[in-house]
Copies of this chain bind each other. A is one copy, B any other.
Amino acid sequence: MNHPDVREELHRLHLELPRNGLVTWTSGNISARVDGGLLIKPSGVTFEALTPEGMVHTDLDARVLNSDLSPSSDTATHAYIYRELPQVGGIVHTHSPYATAWAATGQDIPCVLTAMADEFGGPVPCGGFALIGGEQIGAEVVRVLRGHRSPAIILQSHGVFTIGRTPAAALKAAVMVEDVARTVALAFQLAAATGTPVLPIAPADIDQLYDRYTNVYGQRPAPATPNAEVRP
């Protein structure tokens, strides 16, 4: 079995998806870049039935290398992102409910929380509609995230993709995007019900919060923001 440590890590991270309420049944997947390819969840397998050995190894054209299982039907998307964004080491895809509700309306999630300024440096962008299976989704993810601070994108009528230097960083972004999607949705519902608007945060304040979080927060001097290195 190749890449045993990455497989163990990928298995462990997949179990965080149901634990954090991001997935239902077999939906959602995480991949890790490995030399010349990627490892990803097999298609249509429940999270309980997943094993480190079952993770499917493909090349960056999404061709399976030595596995009895079929890879996630989103593999072409993951492969496309790894080809185009060399600093990305991990990718997460979910249909987490609040983020997907935003995606169903085709809107960016506006940056109205200091926690969003910290993590995403601004709104979480919404990409256009793209069909599943080919490279359309990957192309849309790359087009939007290449010029963006945010390590997360929501895709119209579909769900969430997040990127990071590592699979763990991409998972953190996937957890946080659902968290802020929920809080901001609740804020807009409350605003509508009470007749009091959701308040904006000034762009200069967003910049200052993002810079502080990227450079000061956490235990390591290295940039803590998953998408830091893929900024143009």
Residue numbers of A with Cβ under 8 A of B are 20, 24-25, 27, 42-45, 69-70, 73, 95, 97-98, 100-102, 104-107, 112-115, 118, 129, 131-133, 156-159, 172, 175-176, 179, 182-194, 196-199, 201, 205, 208-209, 212-213, 216-219, 224
Contacts and interface: CB of A to CB of B under 8 A. Distances in A.
Q: For the complex of A and B, list the 5 residue pairs with the smallest distance between their C-beta atoms, beginning with the closest.
A: A44-B218, A101-B186, A104-B187, A192-B193, A188-B193
A105 B197 contact: yes
Contacts of A102: 187, 190
A115 B159 contact: yes
A43 B212 CA distance: 13
Contact of A44 (B73, B156, B182, B224): B224
5 contacts: A44-B217, A44-B219, A113-B158, A189-B193, A191-B193
Number of copies: 4
A199 B113 contact: no
A219 B104 contact: no
B219 A100 contact: no
Which of A199, A205, A208 gathers most chain B CB within 10 Å?
A: A199
B209 A132 contact: yes
Given A25-B179, A43-B218, A104-B113, 8 more contacts: A44-B217, A45-B219, A97-B186, A100-B113, A106-B199, A129-B205, A132-B209, A189-B193
